[in-house]
């Protein structure tokens, strides 16, 4: 007679569970793994977006060494009362320059004092207090123990964020990715006490540099100035271009008006060459001494810093930017019936959808065109490596109507843009059709 083998439950029960799991995997080998990895991917995506948000809003990449330590811009902000120069920058002046204040960074006690008129908005000391709270969007102050500024730096959010004005004009909740068309970058930089390093790059004097900077006006910046030295267009107007939005870029190949490169390429270029942070940047196209004489002379296409404070930040910054959707047009901001007719024209008679494709409103692939293809000059295009203009995505046009349209704001209104294309392509649009197109452009993107 054979003896029965008896095993304890502590051995049998785990074995049964393992057998069941094996059967599940045999029947559906991918499901358990997919669920596990899906959850892991979701968690990683969420963490990456938050990391990118923090970088976009608060990371200076070490650029204090330029804006504060070299140009001494912080001294103009604090004024003579705090050991700086000049009258200083009060909140009233800062808001007039287009700087924005994050309402959510303000303690409730300060909010109440402002509401009750107990805060002197003409006092630079209040600006310093706001900087200590990290409430001035896009600017970080570094302070001494006595409360005066030691240095200052800037962030991506300076140009590519604004606020909803929920508390007051220029004060509200952050709107990341929106173009700050109120920001007078040139006037802010022109206030720096020491612009000699910039003058040396441009082989000129500080007075000329300030003249150029003050010519830009609100909502404009010239990213190519320190690459090619071209301060003005052939017609004598400033060579600066409008600050573009940084939202709605998912699926869009190139990032700038003139298609310099992808989102991470341009982020690296700006962080290193425009913000003057400390990182690594490689673009041998800048070695072209004919097209980019300043960049070639100073080896701007071959930047290396140790430590590198930028490169490790680029992946999360990229993910965050691509996560920013274009905001839907507010109800009542356009004529819905007219916009519906305009959409039919956009995709039909007006032929706009040939280039502004699908929900991206740009072309999949290499979305670049010569100026002659859209009946404009090539001046700005020729300042970029590909000598062409990008088909700009149209989502969220309603958020950046201030300053005009096209790269340099040459068309004051959307109707001016439509009239230009009607003439350029001989579309034969009637006046009511043009108005319908304008209403459609104002409506993009719409919630459906």
Among 185, 265, 169, 263, smallest CA distance to 217 is for 185
Hey, which residues does 136 pair with through a beta bridge? Answer: 101
Contact indicator for 234, 379 with CB cutoff of 8 Å: yes
Hey, which residues does 303 pair with through a beta bridge? Answer: 281
Phi then psi dihedrals of residue 368, to 5 deg? -125, 145
**For 410, which DSSP code?**
-
3-state SS assignment for residue 140: strand
Tens of pLDDT along 89-100?
999 999 999 999
Looking at residue 293, its pLDDT comes to 98
Residue 253 burial (CB count, 10 A) = 19
pTM for this model (two decimals): 0.90
First to last CA, the chain: 78
Among 28, 36, 143, 33, smallest CA distance to 84 is for 143
Q: Is the peptide bond before 307 cis (omega within 30 degrees of 0)?
A: yes
What is the Cα–Cα distance from 442 to 258, expressed in whole angstroms? 23
Residue 56 burial (CB count, 10 A) = 24
Tens of pLDDT along 134-149?
999 999 999 999 999 9
Tens of pLDDT along 391-418?
999 999 999 999 999 999 999 999 999 9
Looking at residue 33, its pLDDT comes to 64
Over the chain, what is the mean pLDDT? 93
Tens of pLDDT along 89-128?
999 999 999 999 999 999 999 999 999 999 999 999 999 9
Tens of pLDDT along 67-83?
999 999 999 999 999 99
| Exposed / middle / buried, residue 202 (Cβ in 10 Å: 0-12, 13-18, 19+) | middle
Percent of the chain with pLDDT over 90: 88
* pLDDT-based confidence at residue 171 (cuts at 50, 70, 90): very high
The whole-number average pLDDT for the span 173-199 is 98
Residues 6+ apart with CB under 8 A from 214: 186, 187, 190
Is residue 424's pLDDT more than 60? Answer: yes
325, HSE (Cβ side, Cα atoms, 13 Å): 8
Quick one: tokens of 111?
């909010």
What is the Cα–Cα distance from 423 to 343, expressed in whole angstroms? 20
Residues 6+ apart with CB under 8 A from 32: 21, 24, 25
What is the Cα–Cα distance from 355 to 367, expressed in whole angstroms? 8
Tens of pLDDT along 231-245?
999 999 999 999 999
* pLDDT-based confidence at residue 26 (cuts at 50, 70, 90): low
What is the Cα–Cα distance from 418 to 425, expressed in whole angstroms? 11
Looking at residue 42, its pLDDT comes to 80
Looking at residue 261, its pLDDT comes to 95
Looking at residue 344, its pLDDT comes to 98
Q: Which is higher by pLDDT, 36 or 398?
A: 398
Looking at residue 385, its pLDDT comes to 97
What is the Cα–Cα distance from 273 to 306, expressed in whole angstroms? 16
Residue 432 parent element (H or E): helix 431-443
* pLDDT-based confidence at residue 255 (cuts at 50, 70, 90): confident
Contact indicator for 393, 252 with CB cutoff of 8 Å: yes
The whole-number average pLDDT for the span 270-280 is 98
Looking at residue 1, its pLDDT comes to 47
Tens of pLDDT along 329-388?
999 999 999 999 999 999 999 999 999 999 999 999 999 999 999 999 999 999 999 999
């Amino acid at each position: 007679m054979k003896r029965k083998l008896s095993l304890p439950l502590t051995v049998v029960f785990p074995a049964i569970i393992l057998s069941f799991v094996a059967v599940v995997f045999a029947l559906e080998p991918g499901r358990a793994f997919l669920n596990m990895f899906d959850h892991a991917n979701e968690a990683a995506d969420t963490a990456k977006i938050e990391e990118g948000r923090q970088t976009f809003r608060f990371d200076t990449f070490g650029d204090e060494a330029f804006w504060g330590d070299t140009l001494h811009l912080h001294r103009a902000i604090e004024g003579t009362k705090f050991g700086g120069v000049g009258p200083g920058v009060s909140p009233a002046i800062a808001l007039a320059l287009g700087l924005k204040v994050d309402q959510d960074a303000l303690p409730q006690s300060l909010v109440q004092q402002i509401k009750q008129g107990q805060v002197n908005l003409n006092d630079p000391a209040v600006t310093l207090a706001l900087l200590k709270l990290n409430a001035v969007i896009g600017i970080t102050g570094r302070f001494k123990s006595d409360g005066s500024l030691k240095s200052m730096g800037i962030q991506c959010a300076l140009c590519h964020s604004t606020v909803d004005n929920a508390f007051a004009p220029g004060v509200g909740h952050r709107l990341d990715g929106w173009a700050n068309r109120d920001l007078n970058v040139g006037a802010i930089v022109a206030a720096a006490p020491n612009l000699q390093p910039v003058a040396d790059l441009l082989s000129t004097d500080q007075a000329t540099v300030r003249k150029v900077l003050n010519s830009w006006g609100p909502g404009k910046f010239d990213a190519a100035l320190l690459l090619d030295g071209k301060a003005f267009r052939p017609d004598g107007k400033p060579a600066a271009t409008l600050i573009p939005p940084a939202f709605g870029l998912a699926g869009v190949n190139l990032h700038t008006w003139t298609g310099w490169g992808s989102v991470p390429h341009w982020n690296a270029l700006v962080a290193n060459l425009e913000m003057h942070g400390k990182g690594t940047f490689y673009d041998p196209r800048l070695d072209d001494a004919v097209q980019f004489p300043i960049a070639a002379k100073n080896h701007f296409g071959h930047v290396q810093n140790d430590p590198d404070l930028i490169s490790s930040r680029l992946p999360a910054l990229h993910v965050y930017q691509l996560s920013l959707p274009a905001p839907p047009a507010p109800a009542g901001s356009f004529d819905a019936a007219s916009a519906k007719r305009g959409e039919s024209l956009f995709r039909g008679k007006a032929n706009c959808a040939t280039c502004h494709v699908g929900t991206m409103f740009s072309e999949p692939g290499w979305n670049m065109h010569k100026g002659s293809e859209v009946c404009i000059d090539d001046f700005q295009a020729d300042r970029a490596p590909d000598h062409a203009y990008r088909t700009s995505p149209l989502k969220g046009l309603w958020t950046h109507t201030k300053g005009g349209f096209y790269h340099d704001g040459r068309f004051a209104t959307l109707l001016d843009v439509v009239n230009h294309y009607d003439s350029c392509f001989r579309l034969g649009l009637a006046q009511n059709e043009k108005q319908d197109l304008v209403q459609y452009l104002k409506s993009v993107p719409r919630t459906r």
